[in-house]
Amino acid sequence: MSAATTALLLFLSLLITPSLSWKKDEFRNCNQTPFCRRARSRLPNSSPLIASSLSLSSSSGNLIATLLPKPNPNPNTVDSNFNESSESETRTLDQERPLVLTISVYEERIVRVKVDEVREEGKRERFEVRDVVELEFEATKLWLQRFDEEKIGDDEVAAAVVYIGDGYEVVLRRDPFEVFVREKGKGGRRVVAVNSNGLFDFEQLREKKEEGESWEESWRGHTDSRPYGPQSISFDVSFYGADFVYGIPEHATGLSLKPTRGPGVEFSEPYRLFNLDVFEYLHESPFGLYGSIPFMISHGKERGTSGFFWLNAAEMQIDVLGDGWDAGESKIALPSEQKRIDTLWMSEAGVFDAFFFVGPGPKDVVKQYVKVTGLPAMPQLFATAYHQCRWNYRDEEDVEQVDAKFDEHDIPYDVLWLDIEHTDGKRYLTWDRVLFPHPEEMQKKLASKGRHMVTIVDPHIKRDDSYFIHKEATELGHYVKDATGKDYDGWCWPGSSSYLDMLSPEVRVWWAEKFSYDNYVGSTPSLYIWNDMNEPSVFNGPEVTMPRDALHVGGVEHRELHNVYGLYFHMGTAEGLVKRGEGKDRPFVLSRAFFSGSQKYGAIWTGDNTAEWEQLRVSVPMVLTLGLSGISFSGADVGGFFGNPEPELLVRWYQLGAYYPFFRGHAHHDTKRREPWLFGERNTKLMRDAIRTRYTLLPYFYTLFRESNLTGIPVMRPLWMEFPGDEATFNNDEAFMVGNSLLVQGIYTQQAKESSVYLPGSDSWFDLRSGAAYRGGTTHKLEVSDESIPAFQRAGTIVPRKDRYRRSSTQMTNDPYTLVIALNSSRSAEGELYIDDGKSFEFQRGAYIHRRFIFSDGKLTSSNLAPAAADAKSRFTSDCVIERIIILGHSSTPKTALIEPANQKADIEVGPLWLQESRGPSVLIIRKPNVRITDDWTMQIF
């Protein structure tokens, strides 16, 4: 090895080392971030802005106003401990130009408020995030015809009041400037407000007026040129009637957001939203991780639920302000008996483009949010089953052996994954032909069992002139540029790499074409994609990412769009798979980085977690928060990516992970192999049982994914989403709901012998394994064993199952169904079942089965919820039947069921709750009614 080669390898190791473990000093905190430091220093009532020149636009139907600074603003605007004179970014009011405020109203009681600089021809414009807001949403805008005027408190100038529908109105106070939504009528209860504490600040773009004038900023040897000066925006948002606030992923914290400022708070840092490659992240930290969704939900017993979304892709920091944070300070907000939670939002760049959601229920707010950002994609059926992954399965022989071992141990799985080592020298969309000489044959062997393969494709492109992707991207000018206009060159897994400018629609179209079978040689229809490192990760970049002054198409600085880069890469890849399948097959693309709207393109996982009990625990609120933020298809790496889990932890993780929407085992290449059969016969059985539980419940999960695809309501839900009036659920993130029917409580401690489980509501709950009934509205201290974690079916629900064990979900297609009916105190229950072909877009044309089951007065009824298909080609049929109907909570022991209109009888007997288990509890079962799942029928029990 030459001295030069040795030096190069040493240099690379130094570059890569920071990304292999989380080091606090590699990343900036608020005090090291000027815009955050400045915003935090401002005192309440420091905003100098007033609204004037109100009018209704005849061209847009919006309410328009101008924001101007007061002639004599409050001189005491910053904390006395803040040395403003040391800040090179300070400016005076004579540097300020008028701002334009726009208020728009949409259907479903959604209010949009924008504030931007006056746009002038030839002047640089601030970046507005594109491709997130749905075009269909834009079409629901209401044309404002009038506004009323109303004096608010002691204000000298009347406020403008606009009715938004269903008993709500938006109010624009002029002096002081404030925007809030309230219940209709003077003195109506407030819901959400901006600038109630007078913290709104908007730093405008600057032009250099003097030779040598500079706003450069340095961080750990990296220089950010900041050619347009500081351009941050900050403001306060108040949630009225709130007991807790949630959302703004991604952070490894509890579900409810703890205060970050105020007397006695635990955190001193704001919640950061800045997509970063963070290995081995810490739990209970407000530090930002791989994705960012600037959407916050409040919930409380007093008023219900509301939400606030800021469409901004620059770095963001958000404070949750504890009680007493503003003690002794003057306030803009009028005295009120309403409780509220104040928050402070700060961003480095962009515009103020905010959406107010009034709810009033938790599901209403989620529906309103996805109406703006898009509904979650409907996954293929296989993607909702179990995935097996490792960095890396070594070669084709390793793949074949792992696949065979799953069959040998009777463990179902659907997808086997390949990480970066399968490529030719980290050149994505290629194969190492020594290790994987026959990739098509390898995939076809898996496909013969109904299984699929996923390969990794990252956004860093190896700078190698012999690599066709790099050669074309260079020639076409498709890379992000550095501040000097040259192709940006950073370091990642391949070494010297450049990054595709996914902001450009042209680049995304070009990228999508690379997934054709001609371009991705060795790929087959059963191969799908994994986008990792798309924050983007740059090993030698500031904070392990791209410099903020890197340039995208149109001269947009990376600082302005950083958090949306991963979404664009996800989007381009998903569009590539759709194009590959000629628009017929749904794509499956897993992404690590995400932003608002990522739900439209595929699944998300929580990144590089660690094999620790605390990480198992925090995975639940992380996945719940993603679901509240529109991303229903998400999960955590089962077992932890880093480290070697003890068998008990691994078993508990499988038992919990079986209820994640996205269920995948994954591990780092430095860990010991951890396939489920490597930990002894007992542990193999326990993990097999957990995986089989998921497969048994696939009909229920798939029905929930369809519900999410139609409404945005997540598959995995916090308890308070189903029980919004139960205060005991508001801060409970150790248990969760799967749909409206199942409650799951994780086991998060070693050698646990008992678990305290709160079961909400007034009706009973039935243990999923034993069928035993438990009273609702109380906390139960339950004995636990290693066999399972506590899981319950809610009384009043019907859950569809498939009880035959197969190798994969694909092989279960024609298997019969089981219905589990859990009766409530009224001896009734209801549920749904959704079925389609599991892979195509034909369901969008009506090719599906959607049934409703209702049990009441001793009769079970199956009715159709699907609209009539437009033509014969759009129909979807199935010959599947229901072979067992289990009834829990029935007080008598009927003997017979009469099926109509067939006029047939079916026997009712006592049998096992789980078909494949000869032992265990016995329950009431209607045996072999064999009614077709597609038909209307009734079944009366006697």
In angstroms, rounded to a whole number, what is the distance separating the alpha carbons of residues 238 and 325?
13
Q: Closest Cα to residue 594, out of 574, 577, 610, 620? A: 574
Among residues 203, 353, 535, 707, the one annotated as catalytic is 535
| Helix runs in 127-279, H state only | 135-138
Mean pLDDT for 204-233 is 88
pLDDT score, position 73: 60
Mean pLDDT, range 364-375, rounded to an integer: 98
Catalytic residue among 243, 280, 353, 608: 608
- Distance in Å from the first CA to the final CA of the chain: 85
Mean pLDDT of all residues belonging to the chain = 93
Looking at the DSSP bridge assignments, the partners of residue 228 are none
User: Can you say whether the dihedral through the CA atoms of 363, 369, 372, 378 is positive or negative?
Assistant: negative
Question: SS3 of 800, please?
Answer: strand
What tens digit of pLDDT does each residue of 175-196 get? Answer: 999 999 999 998 899 999 999 9
pLDDT of 9: 40
Q: Which of 428, 440, 611 has its CA nearest to residue 531?
A: 428
Say whether pLDDT at 81 is over 70.
no
Read off the pLDDT band of 702 (50, 70, 90).
very high
pLDDT value for 15:
40
Question: Across-strand partners of 224?
Answer: 217
**How far is 698 from 829, CA to CA, in rounded Å?**
20
Helix, strand, or coil here: 428?
A: coil
- What mean pLDDT comes out for the span 8-26? 49
Would you state the pLDDT for residue 280? 86
Q: Does 897 score more than 60 pLDDT?
A: yes
Predicted confidence (pLDDT) at residue 85 exceeds the cutoff of 90: no
Q: What is the pLDDT of residue 13?
A: 42
- CA 170 – CA 262 distance, rounded (Å): 29
Beta bridge partners of 773: 766
What is the tally of helices (H) and strands (E) in the chain?
Answer: 15, 51
For the beta carbon of residue 854, count every other beta carbon within 10 angstroms: 15
Tens digits of per-residue pLDDT, 97-111? 899 999 999 999 999
Provide the pLDDT confidence category of residue 875 given band limits of 50, 70 and 90.
confident
d(CA 228, CA 214): 9
Q: Whose CA is closest to 458, among 491, 429, 490, 417?
A: 429
User: Could you report the per-residue pLDDT of 853-867, keeping only the tens digit for each?
Assistant: 999 999 999 999 998
pLDDT over 50 at 756, yes or no? yes
| Residue 154 annotated in active site | no
Among candidate residues 535, 603, 601, the one with its CA nearest the CA of residue 565: 535
- What is the spatial distance between Cα 617 and Cα 635, in angstroms, rounded to a whole number? 13
Cβ neighbors of 303 (< 8 A, separation 6 or more) are 189, 191, 240, 241, 242, 338, 360
- What's the pLDDT at 267? 72
Q: What is the residue whose two structure tokens read 């420091």?
A: 46
Query: What is the model's pLDDT at position 20?
Result: 45
- The answer to whether 623 and 746 are in contact (CB under 8 A) is no
Sort 277 into a burial class: Cβ within 10 Å, 0-12 / 13-18 / 19+: buried
User: In a 3-state reduction of DSSP, which class is residue 279?
Assistant: coil
What is the structure's pLDDT at 241?
A: 96
Can you say whether residue 133 is alpha, beta or left, with left for phi > 0 and alpha for psi between -120 and 50 degrees? beta
Read off the pLDDT band of 918 (50, 70, 90): low
pLDDT of residue 70: 86
Q: Give the mean model confidence (pLDDT) for residues 20-30.
A: 76
Average pLDDT (439-466) is 98
CA nearest neighbour of 464 among 500, 433, 426, 436: 426
Under a CB-based contact definition with an 8 Å cutoff, are residues 784 and 752 in contact?
Answer: yes
Which of 3, 206, 238 lies closest to 96 in space, CA to CA? 206
Gap between the Cα atoms of 665 and 200, Å rounded: 45
User: Is residue 917 over pLDDT 90?
Assistant: no
Rounded Cα–Cα distance for residues 609 and 618 (Å) = 10
Tens of pLDDT, residue by residue over 483-527, are 999 999 999 999 999 999 999 999 999 999 999 999 999 999 999
Is the CB of residue 401 less than 8 Å from the CB of residue 408? no
Cis peptide before 536 (omega within 30 of 0): yes
Q: From CA 374, how far away is CA 368, in angstroms rounded?
A: 10
Q: How far apart are CA 327 and CA 145, in angstroms?
A: 41
Q: How large is the average pLDDT for residues 664-677?
A: 98
Strand-pair category, 797-801 with 817-822: antiparallel
The verdict on whether 266 is a catalytic residue reads no
pLDDT value at 915 more than 90: no
> Does 734 participate in catalysis according to the annotation?
no
Cβ atoms of residues 853 and 862 within 8 Å: yes
CA atoms within 13 A on the CB side of 828: 6
The SS3 call for residue 568 is helix
DSSP letter for 377, please: P
Higher-confidence residue of 543 and 922: namely 543
Q: What is the pLDDT of residue 933?
A: 97
What's the pLDDT band for 84 if we cut at 50, 70, 90?
very low
Least confident of 404-413, 557-566, 890-899: 890-899
Whether 859 contacts 895, CB under 8 Å: no
Rounded distance, CA 572 to CA 566, Å?
10
Tokens 């924050």 label which residue?
Answer: 535
pLDDT digit string, tens, across residues 276-327: 999 889 888 999 999 999 999 999 999 999 999 999 999 999 999 999 998 7
At residue 265, the pLDDT reads: 85
Residue 368, H or E segment: helix 362-373
Q: In the structure, what pLDDT confidence band is assigned to residue 77 with cuts at 50, 70 and 90?
A: low
pLDDT for the residue numbered 706: 98
Which of 326, 414, 532, 543 is labelled catalytic? 532
pLDDT reported for residue 1: 41
pLDDT at 212 (0 to 100): 64
* % the chain with pLDDT above 90: 87
pLDDT of residue 93: 44
Distance in angstroms (rounded) separating the CA atoms of residues 885 and 87: 71
pLDDT at 421: 97
Q: Tell me: the pLDDT tens digits for 604-654?
A: 999 999 999 999 999 999 999 999 999 999 999 999 999 999 999 999 999
**What are residue 244's phi and psi, to 5 degrees?**
-145, 160
Specify the pLDDT at position 331.
64
Distance of CA 3 to the CA centre of its chain: 48
206 phi and psi, to 5 degrees? -120, 160
pLDDT above 80: residue 210: no
